[in-house]
Amino acid sequence: MANEKTLILVKPDGVQRGIAGQVIARLEATGLRIAGMKLLQISDGLAAEHYGEHEGKPFYPGLVSFITSGPVVAICLDGPNAISIARKVMGSTNPAEAAPGTVRGDLAIDIGRNVIHGSANEEDAAREVALYFSDVELVDYARAIDGWIVE
């Protein structure tokens, strides 16, 4: 099992709606470990760095204005297959197609207000974690319960 770190954002809609705790609880309940977490307001510059791959697409201006419209909760999750496990908990990008039981399937209805971001692959995860967290903000620690989560 590959140990990975991934970057999660509870987007401004999730914070404004008061469901950040629910989203975090679903991720925590997988057994993945929270390595870093903070509330911040994303600047235009950080939004452009984060979503550079989408620059030029029709939805890009709306995406940047949305992600900078209020605070987000940034979380770094750590554990075996953290990237794909977090993506599974998130559900498909479009909430209308996201499976029940996923964050987007259960808590959202619009692709432009889909509550959560999660890194898509190892390269994105490394880049995105470094965008939001410095080394000292990422904590490596053991949990007494770890042996009940990973064999």
- Identity of the residue, 26 or 117, whose beta carbon is nearer to ligand DAT in the bound complex: 117
Q: Which does 59 bind (CB under 5 to 8 A by kind): Mg ion, ligand DAT, none?
A: ligand DAT
Only one of the segments 19-27, 30-38, 78-86, 117-125 lies at the binding site for Mg ion (rule: CB under 5 A); that segment is 117-125
Of the pair 121, 150, the CB lying nearest ligand DAT is at 121
Nearer to Mg ion, 120 or 138 (CB): 120
Q: Pairing mode, if any, of strands 33-40 and 72-80?
A: antiparallel
DSSP 60-84: HHHHHHHHTSS-EEEEEEEEETHHH
Residue 58 to residues 25, 64, 74, 114, 124, Cα–Cα distance (Å): 33, 12, 26, 17, 22
Supply the minimum distance, in Å, between the C-beta of residue 141 and ligand DAT. Answer: 28
Q: Which does 52 bind (CB under 5 to 8 A by kind): ligand DAT, Mg ion, none?
A: none
Residue 47 near ligand DAT by CB under 6 A: no
54 is catalytic: no
How many residues comprise the chain?
A: 151
d(CA 111, CA 95) in angstroms, rounded, equals 6
Task: Tokens for 85, please give them.
Answer: 């496990």
Among 11, 103, 117, 128, the one annotated catalytic: 117
